[in-house]
Structure 1
Protein backbone atom coordinates (compact mmCIF):
# COMPACT_ATOMS: atom_id res chain seq x y z
CA UNK A 1 0.00 0.00 0.00
CA UNK A 2 2.85 2.34 0.95
CA UNK A 3 4.54 1.53 -2.35
CA UNK A 4 1.30 2.29 -4.25
CA UNK A 5 0.94 5.60 -2.41
CA UNK A 6 4.52 6.50 -3.31
CA UNK A 7 3.92 5.66 -6.97
CA UNK A 8 0.73 7.75 -7.03
CA UNK A 9 2.55 10.68 -5.43
CA UNK A 10 5.31 10.43 -8.00
CA UNK A 11 2.78 10.29 -10.83
CA UNK A 12 1.00 13.38 -9.49
CA UNK A 13 4.31 15.19 -9.17
CA UNK A 14 5.24 14.36 -12.79
CA UNK A 15 1.77 15.47 -13.89
CA UNK A 16 1.99 18.77 -12.05
CA UNK A 17 5.49 19.44 -13.41
CA UNK A 18 4.26 18.61 -16.91
CA UNK A 19 1.31 21.01 -16.54
CA UNK A 20 3.61 23.74 -15.23
CA UNK A 21 5.95 23.25 -18.18
CA UNK A 22 3.04 23.43 -20.56
CA UNK A 23 1.75 26.65 -18.97
CA UNK A 24 5.25 28.11 -19.08
CA UNK A 25 5.38 27.49 -22.83
CA UNK A 26 1.97 29.01 -23.58
CA UNK A 27 1.39 32.52 -24.92
CA UNK A 28 -1.72 33.95 -26.56
CA UNK A 29 -2.77 36.27 -29.34
CA UNK A 30 -6.12 38.08 -29.17
CA UNK A 31 -7.08 39.31 -32.64
CA UNK A 32 -9.65 42.05 -33.26
CA UNK A 33 -11.29 39.96 -35.99
CA UNK A 34 -10.46 36.90 -38.07
CA UNK A 35 -13.00 38.04 -40.65
CA UNK A 36 -10.30 40.18 -42.29
CA UNK A 37 -7.43 38.74 -44.38
CA UNK A 38 -4.91 41.16 -42.88
CA UNK A 39 -5.42 39.86 -39.35
CA UNK A 40 -5.55 36.24 -40.53
CA UNK A 41 -2.09 36.75 -42.04
CA UNK A 42 -0.90 38.37 -38.81
CA UNK A 43 -2.14 35.35 -36.86
CA UNK A 44 -0.36 32.99 -39.27
CA UNK A 45 2.90 34.90 -38.79
CA UNK A 46 2.52 34.56 -35.02
CA UNK A 47 1.72 30.85 -35.29
CA UNK A 48 4.75 30.12 -37.46
CA UNK A 49 7.12 32.00 -35.14
CA UNK A 50 5.60 30.38 -32.02
CA UNK A 51 6.13 26.94 -33.53
CA UNK A 52 9.70 27.82 -34.44
CA UNK A 53 10.47 29.04 -30.91
CA UNK A 54 8.69 26.15 -29.18
CA UNK A 55 5.66 27.92 -27.73
CA UNK A 56 2.06 26.78 -27.62
CA UNK A 57 -0.02 29.65 -29.03
CA UNK A 58 -3.65 30.23 -28.09
CA UNK A 59 -5.57 32.26 -30.70
CA UNK A 60 -8.76 34.09 -29.71
CA UNK A 61 -11.04 36.14 -31.98
CA UNK A 62 -12.70 39.27 -30.51
CA UNK A 63 -15.08 39.60 -33.48
CA UNK A 64 -14.63 43.40 -33.46
CA UNK A 65 -16.45 43.51 -30.09
CA UNK A 66 -14.69 45.18 -27.12
CA UNK A 67 -16.80 43.17 -24.64
CA UNK A 68 -15.73 39.92 -26.35
CA UNK A 69 -12.15 41.16 -26.23
CA UNK A 70 -12.47 41.77 -22.49
CA UNK A 71 -13.84 38.28 -21.86
CA UNK A 72 -11.07 36.78 -24.02
CA UNK A 73 -8.41 38.40 -21.84
CA UNK A 74 -10.24 37.38 -18.65
CA UNK A 75 -10.22 33.79 -19.94
CA UNK A 76 -6.49 33.97 -20.63
CA UNK A 77 -5.70 35.21 -17.13
CA UNK A 78 -7.51 32.17 -15.72
CA UNK A 79 -5.62 29.87 -18.09
CA UNK A 80 -2.34 31.33 -16.85
CA UNK A 81 -0.66 32.23 -20.13
CA UNK A 82 2.80 33.79 -19.87
CA UNK A 83 2.21 36.69 -22.27
CA UNK A 84 -0.65 38.18 -24.28
CA UNK A 85 -0.30 39.68 -27.73
CA UNK A 86 -3.36 41.81 -28.44
CA UNK A 87 -4.56 43.48 -31.61
CA UNK A 88 -7.13 45.91 -30.14
CA UNK A 89 -10.68 46.31 -31.39
CA UNK A 90 -10.53 49.89 -30.08
CA UNK A 91 -7.56 51.77 -28.66
CA UNK A 92 -9.58 53.21 -25.78
CA UNK A 93 -11.77 50.21 -24.94
CA UNK A 94 -8.85 47.77 -24.91
CA UNK A 95 -7.41 49.58 -21.88
CA UNK A 96 -9.85 47.73 -19.61
CA UNK A 97 -8.66 44.37 -20.92
CA UNK A 98 -5.01 45.36 -20.55
CA UNK A 99 -5.56 46.43 -16.94
CA UNK A 100 -7.00 42.99 -16.16
CA UNK A 101 -3.84 41.39 -17.56
CA UNK A 102 -1.71 43.93 -15.65
CA UNK A 103 -3.41 42.98 -12.36
CA UNK A 104 -2.62 39.33 -13.09
CA UNK A 105 1.01 40.24 -13.83
CA UNK A 106 0.73 38.95 -17.38
CA UNK A 107 2.80 41.08 -19.80
CA UNK A 108 0.92 42.57 -22.76
CA UNK A 109 2.20 43.48 -26.23
CA UNK A 110 0.03 45.35 -28.74
CA UNK A 111 0.04 44.59 -32.47
CA UNK A 112 -0.89 47.00 -35.31
CA UNK A 113 -3.17 49.12 -33.10
CA UNK A 114 -2.03 50.77 -29.91
CA UNK A 115 -3.72 51.20 -26.53
CA UNK A 116 -4.61 54.55 -24.95
CA UNK A 117 -3.98 53.35 -21.40
CA UNK A 118 -2.61 50.38 -19.48
CA UNK A 119 0.89 48.96 -19.11
CA UNK A 120 2.15 47.64 -22.46
CA UNK A 121 5.59 46.06 -22.76
CA UNK A 122 5.98 46.80 -26.48
CA UNK A 123 3.93 48.02 -29.44
CA UNK A 124 4.69 46.44 -32.82
CA UNK A 125 3.17 48.29 -35.77
CA UNK A 126 3.77 50.09 -39.02
CA UNK A 127 4.17 53.86 -39.02
CA UNK A 128 0.57 54.55 -39.93
CA UNK A 129 1.03 58.33 -40.12
CA UNK A 130 3.84 57.90 -42.65
CA UNK A 131 1.71 55.38 -44.56
CA UNK A 132 -1.26 57.74 -44.82
CA UNK A 133 1.05 60.46 -46.08
CA UNK A 134 2.59 58.06 -48.62
CA UNK A 135 -0.89 57.34 -49.98
CA UNK A 136 -1.65 61.05 -50.34
CA UNK A 137 1.69 61.78 -51.99
CA UNK A 138 1.16 58.93 -54.46
CA UNK A 139 -2.23 60.36 -55.44
CA UNK A 140 -0.62 63.76 -56.01
CA UNK A 141 2.12 62.21 -58.17
CA UNK A 142 -0.35 60.35 -60.39
CA UNK A 143 -3.47 62.53 -60.33
CA UNK A 144 -1.95 65.94 -59.65
CA UNK A 145 -2.10 68.68 -57.05
CA UNK A 146 -5.56 69.97 -56.13
CA UNK A 147 -6.99 66.54 -56.94
CA UNK A 148 -10.57 66.01 -55.75
CA UNK A 149 -10.42 63.17 -53.24
CA UNK A 150 -12.57 61.08 -50.92
CA UNK A 151 -11.30 59.24 -47.84
CA UNK A 152 -12.85 56.07 -46.46
CA UNK A 153 -12.00 55.87 -42.76
CA UNK A 154 -11.55 52.79 -40.58
CA UNK A 155 -13.11 52.06 -37.21
CA UNK A 156 -13.37 55.24 -35.17
CA UNK A 157 -11.35 54.98 -31.98
CA UNK A 158 -8.59 52.79 -33.39
CA UNK A 159 -5.08 54.19 -33.52
CA UNK A 160 -4.69 52.86 -37.08
CA UNK A 161 -7.66 54.88 -38.37
CA UNK A 162 -6.61 58.00 -36.50
CA UNK A 163 -2.98 57.84 -37.60
CA UNK A 164 -3.61 56.92 -41.23
CA UNK A 165 -6.12 59.73 -41.43
CA UNK A 166 -3.64 62.15 -39.89
CA UNK A 167 -0.96 61.26 -42.43
CA UNK A 168 -3.35 61.49 -45.37
CA UNK A 169 -4.72 64.85 -44.21
CA UNK A 170 -1.14 66.16 -43.96
CA UNK A 171 -0.69 65.31 -47.64
CA UNK A 172 -4.07 66.86 -48.51
CA UNK A 173 -3.12 70.16 -46.89
CA UNK A 174 0.44 70.24 -48.22
CA UNK A 175 -0.70 69.66 -51.80
CA UNK A 176 -3.94 71.65 -51.67
CA UNK A 177 -6.05 68.65 -52.61
CA UNK A 178 -9.78 69.13 -52.36
CA UNK A 179 -11.27 66.72 -49.82
CA UNK A 180 -14.84 66.16 -50.99
CA UNK A 181 -15.79 63.75 -48.19
CA UNK A 182 -14.32 61.62 -45.44
CA UNK A 183 -16.53 58.95 -43.91
CA UNK A 184 -16.08 55.77 -41.84
CA UNK A 185 -16.63 52.37 -43.42
CA UNK A 186 -15.18 50.44 -40.45
CA UNK A 187 -12.38 48.63 -42.33
CA UNK A 188 -15.12 46.46 -43.91
CA UNK A 189 -15.49 45.57 -47.62
CA UNK A 190 -19.29 45.58 -47.69
CA UNK A 191 -19.46 48.86 -45.81
CA UNK A 192 -16.83 50.25 -48.16
CA UNK A 193 -19.11 49.39 -51.07
CA UNK A 194 -22.22 50.93 -49.49
CA UNK A 195 -20.51 54.09 -48.27
CA UNK A 196 -18.78 54.61 -51.61
CA UNK A 197 -22.07 54.24 -53.50
CA UNK A 198 -23.56 57.06 -51.45
CA UNK A 199 -20.46 59.24 -51.72
CA UNK A 200 -20.28 58.75 -55.51
CA UNK A 201 -23.85 59.90 -55.87
CA UNK A 202 -23.11 63.04 -53.85
CA UNK A 203 -19.67 63.68 -55.39
CA UNK A 204 -19.70 62.60 -59.06
CA UNK A 205 -16.56 64.64 -59.84
CA UNK A 206 -14.29 62.71 -57.45
CA UNK A 207 -10.91 61.85 -59.02
CA UNK A 208 -9.26 59.71 -56.35
CA UNK A 209 -10.08 57.68 -53.24
CA UNK A 210 -7.89 56.81 -50.28
CA UNK A 211 -9.26 53.87 -48.32
CA UNK A 212 -7.60 53.25 -44.97
CA UNK A 213 -7.43 49.51 -45.66
CA UNK A 214 -7.60 47.20 -48.67
CA UNK A 215 -10.95 45.74 -47.68
CA UNK A 216 -12.65 49.15 -47.95
CA UNK A 217 -10.68 49.88 -51.14
CA UNK A 218 -12.01 46.67 -52.74
CA UNK A 219 -15.55 47.58 -51.66
CA UNK A 220 -15.11 51.07 -53.13
CA UNK A 221 -13.81 49.49 -56.34
CA UNK A 222 -17.04 47.52 -56.75
CA UNK A 223 -19.08 50.69 -56.31
CA UNK A 224 -16.94 52.57 -58.84
CA UNK A 225 -17.20 49.73 -61.36
CA UNK A 226 -20.98 49.54 -60.91
CA UNK A 227 -21.20 53.27 -61.58
CA UNK A 228 -19.17 52.86 -64.77
CA UNK A 229 -16.48 55.26 -63.60
CA UNK A 230 -12.68 55.21 -63.57
CA UNK A 231 -11.35 56.55 -60.28
CA UNK A 232 -7.83 56.29 -58.85
CA UNK A 233 -8.11 54.15 -55.68
CA UNK A 234 -5.34 53.63 -53.13
CA UNK A 235 -5.73 51.09 -50.33
CA UNK A 236 -3.63 50.25 -47.31
CA UNK A 237 -2.25 46.98 -45.82
CA UNK A 238 -0.91 45.10 -48.82
CA UNK A 239 -3.24 42.12 -48.39
CA UNK A 240 -3.23 39.29 -50.93
CA UNK A 241 -6.55 40.47 -52.39
CA UNK A 242 -5.36 44.07 -52.47
CA UNK A 243 -2.09 43.25 -54.23
CA UNK A 244 -3.93 41.00 -56.71
CA UNK A 245 -6.28 43.89 -57.57
CA UNK A 246 -3.27 46.17 -58.08
CA UNK A 247 -1.62 43.61 -60.38
CA UNK A 248 -4.85 43.39 -62.41
CA UNK A 249 -4.85 47.18 -62.77
CA UNK A 250 -8.05 47.58 -60.74
CA UNK A 251 -6.60 49.32 -57.67
CA UNK A 252 -4.00 52.01 -58.32
CA UNK A 253 -1.87 51.04 -55.34
CA UNK A 254 -1.80 49.74 -51.80
CA UNK A 255 0.43 50.91 -48.98
CA UNK A 256 1.83 47.56 -47.97
CA UNK A 257 2.19 46.58 -44.37
CA UNK A 258 3.70 43.25 -43.48
CA UNK A 259 1.09 41.60 -41.24
CA UNK A 260 2.93 38.28 -41.15
CA UNK A 261 6.04 40.08 -39.89
CA UNK A 262 4.02 42.02 -37.29
CA UNK A 263 2.69 38.74 -35.87
CA UNK A 264 6.12 37.09 -35.96
CA UNK A 265 7.81 40.07 -34.30
CA UNK A 266 5.13 40.03 -31.61
CA UNK A 267 5.99 36.45 -30.64
CA UNK A 268 9.73 37.05 -31.00
CA UNK A 269 9.54 40.14 -28.76
CA UNK A 270 7.50 38.24 -26.16
CA UNK A 271 10.14 35.49 -26.24
CA UNK A 272 12.95 37.99 -25.57
CA UNK A 273 10.95 39.62 -22.76
CA UNK A 274 10.16 36.28 -21.09
CA UNK A 275 13.87 35.39 -21.20
CA UNK A 276 14.66 38.60 -19.33
CA UNK A 277 15.99 40.59 -22.27
CA UNK A 278 15.24 44.28 -22.58
CA UNK A 279 12.82 45.03 -25.46
CA UNK A 280 12.00 48.25 -27.28
CA UNK A 281 8.82 50.08 -26.30
CA UNK A 282 7.94 50.60 -29.96
CA UNK A 283 9.05 48.37 -32.83
CA UNK A 284 8.30 49.88 -36.26
CA UNK A 285 7.63 47.63 -39.26
CA UNK A 286 8.56 49.03 -42.71
CA UNK A 287 5.96 50.12 -45.29
CA UNK A 288 6.13 50.40 -49.08
CA UNK A 289 3.94 51.47 -51.98
CA UNK A 290 2.89 48.57 -54.20
CA UNK A 291 1.74 49.67 -57.65
CA UNK A 292 1.68 48.04 -61.07
Structure 2
Protein backbone atom coordinates (compact mmCIF):
# COMPACT_ATOMS: atom_id res chain seq x y z
CA UNK A 1 0.00 0.00 0.00
CA UNK A 2 1.39 3.36 -0.99
CA UNK A 3 2.05 5.84 1.79
CA UNK A 4 -0.11 8.49 0.12
CA UNK A 5 -3.11 6.14 0.38
CA UNK A 6 -2.75 6.08 4.15
CA UNK A 7 -2.41 9.78 4.82
CA UNK A 8 1.35 9.61 5.37
CA UNK A 9 2.39 11.92 2.54
CA UNK A 10 4.45 15.03 3.10
CA UNK A 11 1.21 17.02 3.51
CA UNK A 12 -0.32 14.54 5.95
CA UNK A 13 2.85 14.41 8.01
CA UNK A 14 2.84 18.18 8.33
CA UNK A 15 -0.84 17.99 9.36
CA UNK A 16 -0.02 15.38 11.97
CA UNK A 17 3.04 17.27 13.22
CA UNK A 18 1.07 20.48 13.56
CA UNK A 19 -1.62 18.71 15.54
CA UNK A 20 0.86 17.06 17.82
CA UNK A 21 2.64 20.36 18.39
CA UNK A 22 -0.61 21.94 19.52
CA UNK A 23 -1.28 18.92 21.70
CA UNK A 24 2.16 19.23 23.29
CA UNK A 25 1.37 22.74 24.41
CA UNK A 26 -1.58 21.41 26.37
CA UNK A 27 0.26 18.87 28.50
CA UNK A 28 3.41 17.52 26.83
CA UNK A 29 3.96 14.68 24.39
CA UNK A 30 4.15 11.06 25.50
CA UNK A 31 7.46 9.62 26.43
CA UNK A 32 8.84 12.81 27.95
CA UNK A 33 9.08 11.19 31.35
CA UNK A 34 10.37 7.93 29.90
CA UNK A 35 8.30 4.75 29.91
CA UNK A 36 10.65 2.13 28.53
CA UNK A 37 11.59 -1.53 28.42
CA UNK A 38 9.63 -4.00 30.52
CA UNK A 39 7.80 -1.16 32.23
CA UNK A 40 6.39 0.07 28.91
CA UNK A 41 5.37 -3.44 27.87
CA UNK A 42 3.28 -3.65 31.05
CA UNK A 43 1.24 -0.58 30.00
CA UNK A 44 -2.00 -1.68 28.33
CA UNK A 45 -3.83 0.74 26.02
CA UNK A 46 -7.41 -0.18 25.17
CA UNK A 47 -9.08 0.94 21.94
CA UNK A 48 -12.84 0.47 21.56
CA UNK A 49 -14.25 1.56 18.18
CA UNK A 50 -17.83 1.57 16.92
CA UNK A 51 -17.23 -1.22 14.40
CA UNK A 52 -14.36 -3.23 12.94
CA UNK A 53 -15.28 -2.78 9.26
CA UNK A 54 -15.77 0.95 8.63
CA UNK A 55 -12.54 2.19 6.94
CA UNK A 56 -12.42 5.14 9.36
CA UNK A 57 -12.14 2.82 12.36
CA UNK A 58 -9.85 0.41 10.54
CA UNK A 59 -7.42 3.29 10.00
CA UNK A 60 -7.83 4.38 13.60
CA UNK A 61 -6.92 0.89 14.81
CA UNK A 62 -3.91 0.69 12.46
CA UNK A 63 -2.61 4.05 13.71
CA UNK A 64 -3.09 3.04 17.35
CA UNK A 65 -1.26 -0.24 16.73
CA UNK A 66 1.66 1.54 15.06
CA UNK A 67 1.97 4.17 17.78
CA UNK A 68 1.69 1.62 20.61
CA UNK A 69 4.41 -0.45 18.96
CA UNK A 70 6.63 2.62 18.61
CA UNK A 71 6.13 3.39 22.32
CA UNK A 72 6.61 -0.22 23.40
CA UNK A 73 3.08 -0.40 24.82
CA UNK A 74 0.54 -3.23 24.59
CA UNK A 75 -2.60 -2.40 22.60
CA UNK A 76 -5.86 -4.34 23.00
CA UNK A 77 -8.40 -3.38 20.33
CA UNK A 78 -12.11 -4.15 20.56
CA UNK A 79 -15.19 -2.97 18.66
CA UNK A 80 -18.95 -3.07 18.63
CA UNK A 81 -20.58 -5.64 16.35
CA UNK A 82 -22.38 -2.85 14.45
CA UNK A 83 -22.76 0.94 14.50
CA UNK A 84 -25.03 1.48 17.51
CA UNK A 85 -23.90 -1.55 19.54
CA UNK A 86 -23.69 0.22 22.89
CA UNK A 87 -23.88 -3.00 24.92
CA UNK A 88 -20.93 -4.50 23.06
CA UNK A 89 -18.79 -1.47 23.77
CA UNK A 90 -19.76 -1.46 27.45
CA UNK A 91 -18.72 -5.12 27.71
CA UNK A 92 -15.42 -4.32 25.96
CA UNK A 93 -14.59 -1.59 28.46
CA UNK A 94 -15.48 -3.89 31.36
CA UNK A 95 -13.01 -6.42 29.96
CA UNK A 96 -10.30 -3.78 29.57
CA UNK A 97 -10.73 -2.64 33.16
CA UNK A 98 -10.34 -6.25 34.28
CA UNK A 99 -7.25 -6.62 32.08
CA UNK A 100 -5.60 -3.70 33.91
CA UNK A 101 -5.65 -1.14 31.09
CA UNK A 102 -3.85 2.10 31.96
CA UNK A 103 -5.87 4.04 29.43
CA UNK A 104 -8.90 3.43 27.22
CA UNK A 105 -9.62 5.21 23.93
CA UNK A 106 -13.25 4.92 22.89
CA UNK A 107 -15.49 6.07 20.04
CA UNK A 108 -18.88 5.85 21.77
CA UNK A 109 -21.77 4.37 19.79
CA UNK A 110 -24.13 6.10 22.19
CA UNK A 111 -22.84 9.33 23.72
CA UNK A 112 -24.80 8.94 26.95
CA UNK A 113 -25.13 5.15 27.03
CA UNK A 114 -21.62 4.46 28.35
CA UNK A 115 -21.47 6.93 31.22
CA UNK A 116 -21.68 4.27 33.92
CA UNK A 117 -18.83 2.09 32.67
CA UNK A 118 -16.69 5.13 31.85
CA UNK A 119 -17.11 6.36 35.43
CA UNK A 120 -16.19 2.88 36.67
CA UNK A 121 -13.00 2.98 34.60
CA UNK A 122 -12.00 6.46 35.76
CA UNK A 123 -12.76 5.56 39.40
CA UNK A 124 -10.33 2.67 38.95
CA UNK A 125 -7.60 5.09 37.85
CA UNK A 126 -7.94 4.45 34.11
CA UNK A 127 -7.43 7.40 31.76
CA UNK A 128 -10.42 7.55 29.39
CA UNK A 129 -10.28 9.54 26.16
CA UNK A 130 -13.09 9.83 23.63
CA UNK A 131 -11.97 9.72 20.01
CA UNK A 132 -14.10 11.04 17.12
CA UNK A 133 -17.34 11.10 19.14
CA UNK A 134 -17.85 13.17 22.28
CA UNK A 135 -19.71 11.82 25.28
CA UNK A 136 -22.75 13.62 26.65
CA UNK A 137 -21.83 15.32 28.92
CA UNK A 138 -18.42 15.96 27.39
CA UNK A 139 -16.65 15.93 30.77
CA UNK A 140 -17.65 12.30 31.39
CA UNK A 141 -14.21 11.46 29.92
CA UNK A 142 -10.85 13.01 30.71
CA UNK A 143 -10.51 14.48 27.23
CA UNK A 144 -11.82 14.25 23.66
CA UNK A 145 -9.63 14.13 20.53
CA UNK A 146 -11.87 14.60 17.51
CA UNK A 147 -12.94 16.53 14.50
CA UNK A 148 -15.04 19.57 15.31
CA UNK A 149 -18.06 17.78 13.85
CA UNK A 150 -20.36 20.78 14.05
CA UNK A 151 -17.87 22.87 12.07
CA UNK A 152 -17.40 20.03 9.57
CA UNK A 153 -21.16 20.02 9.09
CA UNK A 154 -21.10 23.79 8.60
CA UNK A 155 -18.46 23.37 5.87
CA UNK A 156 -20.60 20.74 4.17
CA UNK A 157 -23.78 22.82 4.35
CA UNK A 158 -22.11 26.03 3.18
CA UNK A 159 -20.75 24.23 0.13
CA UNK A 160 -24.13 22.69 -0.73
CA UNK A 161 -25.79 26.10 -0.44
CA UNK A 162 -23.21 27.78 -2.67
CA UNK A 163 -23.28 24.97 -5.24
CA UNK A 164 -27.10 25.05 -5.45
CA UNK A 165 -27.07 28.74 -6.33
CA UNK A 166 -30.47 30.32 -6.91
CA UNK A 167 -32.42 27.07 -7.14
CA UNK A 168 -35.10 26.36 -4.54
CA UNK A 169 -33.64 23.76 -2.14
CA UNK A 170 -35.29 20.39 -1.65
CA UNK A 171 -33.06 18.61 0.86
CA UNK A 172 -32.73 14.97 1.89
CA UNK A 173 -30.90 14.17 5.12
CA UNK A 174 -29.14 10.79 5.30
CA UNK A 175 -28.39 10.73 9.02
CA UNK A 176 -26.24 8.33 11.04
CA UNK A 177 -27.16 6.70 14.35
CA UNK A 178 -29.48 8.48 16.81
CA UNK A 179 -27.97 9.09 20.23
CA UNK A 180 -24.45 9.90 19.03
CA UNK A 181 -23.00 13.39 19.20
CA UNK A 182 -21.38 12.98 15.78
CA UNK A 183 -24.81 12.49 14.22
CA UNK A 184 -26.26 15.50 16.04
CA UNK A 185 -23.34 17.85 15.48
CA UNK A 186 -22.94 17.11 11.76
CA UNK A 187 -26.69 17.31 11.12
CA UNK A 188 -27.07 20.60 12.98
CA UNK A 189 -23.87 21.99 11.47
CA UNK A 190 -25.08 21.25 7.94
CA UNK A 191 -28.31 23.13 8.60
CA UNK A 192 -26.35 26.05 10.04
CA UNK A 193 -24.01 26.14 7.04
CA UNK A 194 -26.93 25.94 4.63
CA UNK A 195 -28.69 28.75 6.49
CA UNK A 196 -31.85 26.96 7.61
CA UNK A 197 -33.23 25.59 10.87
CA UNK A 198 -34.63 22.20 11.85
CA UNK A 199 -38.19 21.87 10.54
CA UNK A 200 -37.63 24.17 7.57
CA UNK A 201 -39.93 23.23 4.66
CA UNK A 202 -36.85 22.92 2.45
CA UNK A 203 -36.12 19.60 4.20
CA UNK A 204 -37.99 16.94 2.21
CA UNK A 205 -37.20 14.18 4.69
CA UNK A 206 -34.58 12.22 6.60
CA UNK A 207 -33.47 8.60 6.88
CA UNK A 208 -31.36 6.75 9.44
CA UNK A 209 -28.44 5.00 7.75
CA UNK A 210 -26.17 4.02 10.67
CA UNK A 211 -23.41 5.25 8.37
CA UNK A 212 -23.80 2.13 6.18
CA UNK A 213 -23.88 2.00 2.38
CA UNK A 214 -26.82 -0.40 2.09
CA UNK A 215 -28.95 1.64 4.46
CA UNK A 216 -27.92 4.84 2.67
CA UNK A 217 -29.23 3.38 -0.58
CA UNK A 218 -32.49 2.16 0.94
CA UNK A 219 -33.05 5.45 2.76
CA UNK A 220 -32.42 7.49 -0.37
CA UNK A 221 -34.71 5.29 -2.45
CA UNK A 222 -37.51 5.78 0.07
CA UNK A 223 -37.03 9.54 0.13
CA UNK A 224 -36.95 9.79 -3.68
CA UNK A 225 -40.12 7.72 -3.88
CA UNK A 226 -41.84 10.33 -1.75
CA UNK A 227 -40.31 13.39 -3.41
CA UNK A 228 -38.65 13.25 -6.81
CA UNK A 229 -37.69 16.94 -6.65
CA UNK A 230 -34.82 16.41 -4.17
CA UNK A 231 -31.79 18.40 -5.35
CA UNK A 232 -29.49 18.42 -2.28
CA UNK A 233 -28.41 15.44 -0.20
CA UNK A 234 -26.66 15.66 3.16
CA UNK A 235 -24.90 12.44 4.21
CA UNK A 236 -23.41 11.55 7.60
CA UNK A 237 -20.40 9.84 5.98
CA UNK A 238 -19.01 8.57 2.69
CA UNK A 239 -20.39 4.99 2.86
CA UNK A 240 -23.89 6.46 3.26
CA UNK A 241 -23.10 8.83 0.38
CA UNK A 242 -22.06 5.91 -1.85
CA UNK A 243 -25.37 4.21 -1.12
CA UNK A 244 -27.27 7.43 -1.71
CA UNK A 245 -25.60 7.82 -5.10
CA UNK A 246 -26.65 4.33 -6.19
CA UNK A 247 -30.24 5.23 -5.36
CA UNK A 248 -29.98 8.53 -7.25
CA UNK A 249 -28.54 6.69 -10.24
CA UNK A 250 -31.35 4.13 -10.24
CA UNK A 251 -33.84 7.01 -10.35
CA UNK A 252 -31.88 8.80 -13.09
CA UNK A 253 -31.20 11.70 -10.72
CA UNK A 254 -27.42 11.43 -10.20
CA UNK A 255 -26.67 14.49 -12.38
CA UNK A 256 -29.42 16.64 -10.89
CA UNK A 257 -28.50 16.44 -7.21
CA UNK A 258 -25.72 17.98 -5.09
CA UNK A 259 -24.44 15.12 -2.91
CA UNK A 260 -22.12 16.08 -0.04
CA UNK A 261 -20.45 14.18 2.77
CA UNK A 262 -17.86 14.01 5.56
CA UNK A 263 -14.97 11.56 6.05
CA UNK A 264 -11.96 11.91 3.74
CA UNK A 265 -11.40 8.23 3.12
CA UNK A 266 -9.59 7.34 -0.11
CA UNK A 267 -12.73 5.77 -1.60
CA UNK A 268 -14.68 8.94 -0.83
CA UNK A 269 -12.04 11.21 -2.32
CA UNK A 270 -12.00 9.08 -5.47
CA UNK A 271 -15.76 9.58 -5.61
CA UNK A 272 -15.17 13.33 -5.46
CA UNK A 273 -12.68 12.98 -8.32
CA UNK A 274 -15.23 10.94 -10.31
CA UNK A 275 -18.01 13.45 -9.70
CA UNK A 276 -20.07 11.07 -7.58
CA UNK A 277 -19.75 13.30 -4.49
CA UNK A 278 -19.66 17.06 -5.09
CA UNK A 279 -17.67 17.71 -1.92
CA UNK A 280 -16.58 15.95 1.24
CA UNK A 281 -15.00 17.16 4.46
CA UNK A 282 -11.79 15.30 5.32
CA UNK A 283 -10.96 14.34 8.89
CA UNK A 284 -7.94 12.58 10.36
CA UNK A 285 -8.61 9.37 12.33
CA UNK A 286 -4.90 8.44 12.45
CA UNK A 287 -4.16 11.68 14.27
CA UNK A 288 -6.88 11.02 16.85
CA UNK A 289 -5.60 7.53 17.58
CA UNK A 290 -1.89 8.38 17.65
CA UNK A 291 -2.43 11.31 19.96
CA UNK A 292 -4.61 9.14 22.19
CA UNK A 293 -1.91 6.48 22.56
CA UNK A 294 0.65 9.20 23.26
CA UNK A 295 -1.59 10.56 26.02
CA UNK A 296 -1.81 7.15 27.70
CA UNK A 297 1.98 6.77 27.51
CA UNK A 298 2.42 10.18 29.11
CA UNK A 299 -0.09 9.32 31.83
CA UNK A 300 1.75 6.07 32.58
CA UNK A 301 5.09 7.89 32.75
CA UNK A 302 4.20 11.00 34.72
CA UNK A 303 0.58 10.88 35.83
CA UNK A 304 -0.28 13.87 33.63
CA UNK A 305 -3.71 13.81 32.03
CA UNK A 306 -5.06 15.71 29.02
CA UNK A 307 -8.31 17.60 29.43
CA UNK A 308 -11.02 19.22 27.36
CA UNK A 309 -11.55 19.07 23.61
CA UNK A 310 -8.67 18.84 21.12
CA UNK A 311 -9.73 19.57 17.52
CA UNK A 312 -7.84 17.30 15.10
CA UNK A 313 -8.84 19.38 12.08
CA UNK A 314 -10.83 19.10 8.84
CA UNK A 315 -10.64 20.24 5.20
CA UNK A 316 -13.27 20.68 2.51
CA UNK A 317 -12.34 18.54 -0.52
CA UNK A 318 -13.85 19.32 -3.94
CA UNK A 319 -12.89 19.70 -7.58
CA UNK A 320 -15.59 22.33 -8.02
CA UNK A 321 -14.54 25.06 -5.56
CA UNK A 322 -16.99 27.77 -4.60
CA UNK A 323 -16.06 31.46 -4.16
CA UNK A 324 -15.41 32.38 -0.54
CA UNK A 325 -15.05 28.78 0.67
CA UNK A 326 -11.56 27.46 1.43
CA UNK A 327 -11.04 24.01 -0.06
CA UNK A 328 -8.50 21.49 -1.35
CA UNK A 329 -8.82 19.51 -4.59
CA UNK A 330 -9.06 15.73 -4.95
CA UNK A 331 -5.37 15.46 -5.86
CA UNK A 332 -4.47 16.86 -2.45
CA UNK A 333 -7.14 14.67 -0.93
CA UNK A 334 -5.64 11.52 -2.43
CA UNK A 335 -2.26 12.42 -0.94
CA UNK A 336 -3.78 12.80 2.52
CA UNK A 337 -6.64 10.28 2.60
CA UNK A 338 -6.91 7.09 4.63
CA UNK A 339 -8.22 3.61 3.89
CA UNK A 340 -8.20 1.71 0.61
The two structures, once aligned, show a CA RMSD in angstroms of: 2.0
In the TM superposition, residue 171 of structure 1 has moved relative to its aligned partner by 2.4
Residue 148 of structure 2 contacts residue 312 of structure 2 at CA under 8 Å; is this kept in 1?
yes
CA contact (8 A) 2:40 2:71 kept: no
Superposed CA offset, 1:259-281 (max 9, x none)? 11111121122222333335242
Contact residue 207 and residue 220 of structure 2 kept, 8 A: no
Match of 1:62 among 72, 80, 85: 80
Deviation at 1:194, TM superposition (A): 0.3
Indicate the residue corresponding to 1:286 in structure 2. Answer: 313
- Name the CA distance, whole Å, in 2 between partners of 1:57 and 1:138: 39
Matched, 1:143 2:170: no
The answer to which structure, 1 or 2, has the higher relative contact order (CA under 8 A, 6+ apart) is 2
- CA distance change for structure 1 residues 70 and 278 in 2, over 3 Å: closer, same or farther? closer
Q: Distance in 2 between matches of 1:36 and 1:199?
A: 24
Counterpart pick for 1:170 among 163, 168, 192: 192
Aligned pairs (5 A) from 1:6-21: 21=39
The equivalences for 1:16-95 within 5 A come to 21=39, 24-64=42-82, 65-95=85-115
Match of 1:227 among 232, 241, 251: 251
Q: Secondary structure at the match of 2:53?
A: coil
* Distance (Å, rounded) in 1 between the aligned partners of 2:204 and 2:144: 34
Q: CA deviation at 1:165?
A: 1.0
- In structure 2, C-alpha distance between the alignment counterparts of 1:270 and 1:69, rounded to whole Å: 19
Structure 1: stretches of 5+ with no match in the other structure: 1-19
> How far off is 1:291 after superposition?
1.1
Aligned twin of 2:286: 260
Residue 17 of structure 1 corresponds to none
Query: In the TM superposition, what whole-angstrom CA distance separates every residue of 1:68-104 from its partner, at most 9, and x where no partner exists?
Result: 1111111111111111111111101121221221232
Structure 2 residue runs without a partner (length 5+): 1-37, 320-340
Query: Scaled by the length of structure 1, what TM-score is found?
Result: 0.88
